[in-house]
Chains A and B, each alone.
Chain A
């Protein structure tokens, strides 16, 4: 046994020897590197603590909510200037001043943030974007911030959007210990354009709406929020349709094209809106994910009730530093008792380009819809800039909607190209040319969409 065992023992010993040599070589190679790394001190400046002036709890909470730096964060001049710029851009502060002092040990830094709250009435102009409703201009308005407490906001603005126009009074009051908790209130009087088509003639019906609603917004993790609203609305569709063709304004009774009641209705509304966003903070159209949902339950003065639900998901895949592929999927449903003017308009910008706006949903709107969009975005001018001056895009949109009775044009598809020009005030001005891939009767060979911002 022992004679036989010797060679076997040698054979077992060789791998052990190889392993030992390997370990020695490994230690000889990696050891000095590790030792060197241990010798190199960490020369990164890091935030030890934060001191905010003035020290009232409201201002402290407001600054902390909008400051991207936390204890342990690496600090350099660029990071601090970005933090200051981010605070200034909230509009809550009239002045922001940052400076630092030595912390308890070398490399530890105490950051002092001195702010002056902006409590003055500001007159403003600008633009806004509600991802599920589209872009609009705040043509003129006024804003009062930090009254009655830091982080509060009151704003009155005349808003003009793609198919809405009106006066909006909005308030926001921070509450609770958690950042991002608000009471919100809105009172607005607006006109929504409802489009119907007589062959290729586009007719417009104005839907007047006055609404008052109170809401509670709570944060959803670090990247989302949910707002529950309750309120009252009065909706009054015009009896007339208007259009412009043959070089003149045209009018006709709404009943000619809309086979539904145009009497005004009073609504008691409950809304729940949520969004979750992890998009790039500087270029949200280039990278990240956005999810949105909106549920609504309404009771009509006459006794009937209806509900709607909308789901929206967007994803932006960066293909290079400035080029991106953007995708969107959307679905919506309205119950059978939903008044036609509270259903969805489908076709054209924000849904399937290549068809006229709201052409596919018909005069009574869509009760159900599904859509998907793909868009390739690439810079044309300032190609190396983070925010190129002119961006070109190629798109393919597809989708289908059904009316209350379940009838539909079938699955539709449009494709085309467009440009986005970056401008100081409106941010992005867009022009899209869409071609219908699925041909329908009485449609234009192509449709030009001129609008604000990105498509989604």
Chain B
């Protein structure tokens, strides 16, 4: 148990510089597509996906989440196929169990480092039938990942634009016009590890076919 805590502390220490940089250290190491069973598949490898704050939150007994979106875009950036899924990262403090809960069920891992390793790898996710692609047209793959402590969602909530204040014999609800219009031009919010990766480009005729 003590060894596990020391390992976690070391992991957090190693990850600290990455997290202080606002999760900017997370990156896509490789992203590639291939054909198998007449379907287009994608594999992606990330680095430093689990930032310090998410790791710290999981370590404290509360959960974190990794949300993935992998898309195939055609000419004019039209989305032809898209897969989205979410992994919930949990740590049972009392049983000292680290669990990744995803659409395919639970996977138990040995610790935070193993958790980081598992979530950092997308291995052959099935995207769309090859028959929907033209052999000589150029397509490309996009990958979006968001890692957050405290799980659940970080959707575009109305609460970001609405504020309520009471007290002093009056209550008011304001709808912030600037934010609603401004969100069209805003980037991501601070404190989140968020990757939006564009590429690679491929032509179906030249794709590797795997058994």
Interface residues of A, Cβ cutoff 8 Å to B = 41, 43, 45, 75-78, 80-81, 84-85, 88-92, 95, 97-103, 106-107, 109-110, 112, 114, 116, 120, 122-132, 138, 143, 153, 172, 180, 182, 184, 217, 225, 227, 273-275, 292, 294, 424-425, 427
Contacts and interface: CB of A to CB of B under 8 A. Distances in A.
Interface stretch (B24-32, B55-63, B69-77, B120-128): B55-63
5 contacts: A43-B93, A81-B152, A90-B164, A225-B169, A273-B168
A88 B159 contact: yes
Interface in B139-195: 149-152, 157-160, 162-165, 167-179, 189-192
A123 B177 contact: yes
Given A180-B167, A184-B168, A95 B191 contact: yes
A419 B175 CA distance: 24
Top 10 closest A-B pairs, CB basis?
A: A91-B163, A97-B191, A99-B53, A99-B149, A128-B172, A126-B174, A124-B174, A100-B60, A101-B56, A123-B177
Given A77-B151, A124-B174, A114 B191 contact: yes
Contacts of B93: 43, 45, 106-107
Nearest to A275: B169
A101 B149 CA distance: 11
A88 B60 contact: no
Contacts of A109: 60-62
B174 A41 contact: no
A43 B62 CA distance: 12
A294 B169 CA distance: 10
Nearest to A143: B174
Contacts of A41: 94
A128 B151 contact: no
Nearest to A106: B93
A2 B94 CA distance: 65
B interface, size bucket: 35 or more
A184 B165 CA distance: 15
A100 B159 contact: no
A138 B175 CA distance: 10
Given A97-B191, A114-B191, A292-B169, A91 B176 contact: yes
Contacts, number: 144
Interface of B: 53-54, 56-57, 59-63, 93-94, 149-152, 157-160, 162-165, 167-179, 189-192
Nearest to B8: A102
Contacts of A225: 167-169
Contacts of A102: 56, 59-61
Nearest to A124: B174
A99 B176 contact: no
Given A78-B152, A122-B176, A128-B171, A85 B191 contact: no
Given A80-B150, A123-B177, A125-B177, A132 B62 contact: no
